[in-house]
């Protein structure tokens, strides 16, 4: 059983998040819709992930509390923005990152999606703290990574490996 | 129009607006302004100055956010026009400094066929204009600063002044200083 989108949104609201900048992937479609349906969180849909991270940085500098939702492939695209608008200037963004390729890799299907292969090494290379969100029992990692981002003044990542359920 | 003259005109009429600069604008804007709401975006992310400005404008609806960015930078994030067309708030003013090349790296020209006004309009931004003369810019500036936007203004510029050297100031301090100037808690 994967994590519930509505419960995830409730957790984000409870932590004080005010905005979501998201390019949805297949795994986060229900999460995106739950965010859109929630009147307490403003949702912005950029055209590319690097753009989204820069928007989120501007929101945070202006006093809002954004979360960024993107796929691992988008995180790879957004490298310069993450460096320049997150890690470099000490902006504590929370990123929810979809782990494309995880279910296939876990089932032993071949070929393994290279997006799966390079996600963890990439996060480690950037020294980004990260935890896995696989089901509702893991929802506490959102709180943990939010606190980590705040304590370290760096982005922190929650990786989801399965499609959100409604 | 000469870019530095344009900057002088803007600085003379600017009051409490946030001004986000990037690339060569970061070198010349400080020659005319040392305002606490100036934000040097250099090296924060190539092509993303107006994205950052959009976020700022959304966060601070009570305050105009002016973005001074080049046309080369816009080409690196063209999709951002679509995002501004959809999510751009009334307090966002993007001033596109059009010089048709990558000045920061030696002036390499890009396609001369690009029409930035058409691109912005086609992306859904309603208030798009091109201003060719400094006198016209100075005449229109009070309207651009007071009228609800978002505005996207294409300004063809030249530069005959020597550029000051790049000063790589601490990025964390730039962020902290702007948040402090905005009165954001915890800055």
| Closest residue to A89, CB basis, from B57, B175, B182 | B175
Cβ neighbour number for residue B4 with a 10 Å cutoff: 17
Radius of gyration over every alpha carbon of chain A, rounded to an integer in angstroms: 14
**The pLDDT value given to residue A75:** 97
Beta strands in chain B (DSSP E): 18-21, 38-40, 65-70, 92-98, 101-102, 108-109, 127-130, 151-156
**The pLDDT value given to residue A159:** 98
CB contact under 8 A, A51 and B79: yes
**Mean pLDDT over all residues of chain A?**
97
Domains recognised in chain A with CATH numbers: 5-160 (3.40.50.970)
- Interface subset of A 64-93, CB within 8 angstroms of B: 64, 66, 80-81, 83-85, 88-91
Which residues in chain A have their CB less than 8 angstroms from residue B60's CB?
Answer: 62-63
Q: Is the pLDDT of residue A108 over 70?
A: yes
**The pLDDT value given to residue B118:** 98
Q: Is the pLDDT of residue A12 over 60?
A: yes
CB contact under 8 A, B80 and A59: no
Q: Which residue of B has its CA nearest to A21?
A: B55
Cβ neighbour number for residue B147 with a 10 Å cutoff: 12
Residues of chain B where predicted confidence (pLDDT) is lower than 70: 186-187
Q: Is the pLDDT of residue A57 over 80?
A: yes
The answer to whether the CB of B120 falls within 8 A of the CB of B128 is yes
* Structure confidence at residue A96 as a pLDDT band (50, 70, 90): very high
Minimum distance, in Å, between the CA of residue B68 and any CA atom of chain A: 15
Q: Is the pLDDT of residue A1 over 80?
A: no
- Residue-range domain boundaries for chain B: 3-182
How many residue contacts between A and B have a Cβ separation below 8 Å?
Answer: 118
CB contact under 8 A, B172 and A58: no
**The pLDDT value given to residue B27:** 94
- Interface subset of A 31-60, CB within 8 angstroms of B: 42, 44-48, 50-60
User: Degrees (nearest 5) of the Cα angle A33, B80, B168?
Assistant: 120
Closest among B186, B183, B166 to B40, alpha carbons compared: B166
CB contact under 8 A, A62 and B45: no
CATH value of B3-182 in 1.10.3720.10, 3.40.50.970, 3.40.50.10420, 3.30.1330.10: 3.40.50.970
List, in order, residues 6 or more apart from A117 with CB less than 8 Å away: A101, A105
Please spell the DSSP secondary structure of chain A, one letter per residue: ---BHHHHHHHHHHTT--EEEE---GGGHHHHHHHHH-TTSEEE--SSHHHHHHHHHHHHHTT--EEEEEEHHHHHHTHHHHIIIIITTT---EEEEE-TTHHHHHHT-SSPPHHHHTHHHHHHHTT--EEEE-SGGGTHHHHHHHHHHHHHTS-EEEEE-SPPB-
């Amino acid at each position: 059983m994967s994590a519930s989108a509505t419960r995830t949104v409730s957790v984000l609201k409870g932590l004080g998040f005010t905005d979501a900048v998201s390019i949805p992937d297949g795994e986060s479609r229900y999460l995106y819709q739950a965010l859109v349906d929630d009147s307490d969180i403003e949702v912005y849909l950029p055209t590319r992930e690097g753009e989204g991270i820069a928007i989120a940085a501007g929101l945070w500098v202006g006093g809002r509390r954004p979360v960024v939702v993107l796929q691992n492939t988008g995180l790879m695209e957004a490298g310069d923005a993450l460096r320049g608008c997150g890690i470099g200037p000490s902006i504590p963004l929370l990123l929810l990152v979809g782990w494309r390729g995880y279910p296939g890799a876990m089932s032993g299907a071949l070929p393994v999606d290279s997006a799966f292969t390079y996600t963890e090494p990439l996060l480690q290379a950037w020294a980004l703290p990260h935890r896995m969100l696989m089901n509702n029992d893991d929802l506490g990692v959102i709180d943990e990574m939010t606190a980590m981002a705040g304590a370290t003044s760096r982005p922190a990542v929650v990786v989801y490996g399965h499609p959100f359920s409604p | 129009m000469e870019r530095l003259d344009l900057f002088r005109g803007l600085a003379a009429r600017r009051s409490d607006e946030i001004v986000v600069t990037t690339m060569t604008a970061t070198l010349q804007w400080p020659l005319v302004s040392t305002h606490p709401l100036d934000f040097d975006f250099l090296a924060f992310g190539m092509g993303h100055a107006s994205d950052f400005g959009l976020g700022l404008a959304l966060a601070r609806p009570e305050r105009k956010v002016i973005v001074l960015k080049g046309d080369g930078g816009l080409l690196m994030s063209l999709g951002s026009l679509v995002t501004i067309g959809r999510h751009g708030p009334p307090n966002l003013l993007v001033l596109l400094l059009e010089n048709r090349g990558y000045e920061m790296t030696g002036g390499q020209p890009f396609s001369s066929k690009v029409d930035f006004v058409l691109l912005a309009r086609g992306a859904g931004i309603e208030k798009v204009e091109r201003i060719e003369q400094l006198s016209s810019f100075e005449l229109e500036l009070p309207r651009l600063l007071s009228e609800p936007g978002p505005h996207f203004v294409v300004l063809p510029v030249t530069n005959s002044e020597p550029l000051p050297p790049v000063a790589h100031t601490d990025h964390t301090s730039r962020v902290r200083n702007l948040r402090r100037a905005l009165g954001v808690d915890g800055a």
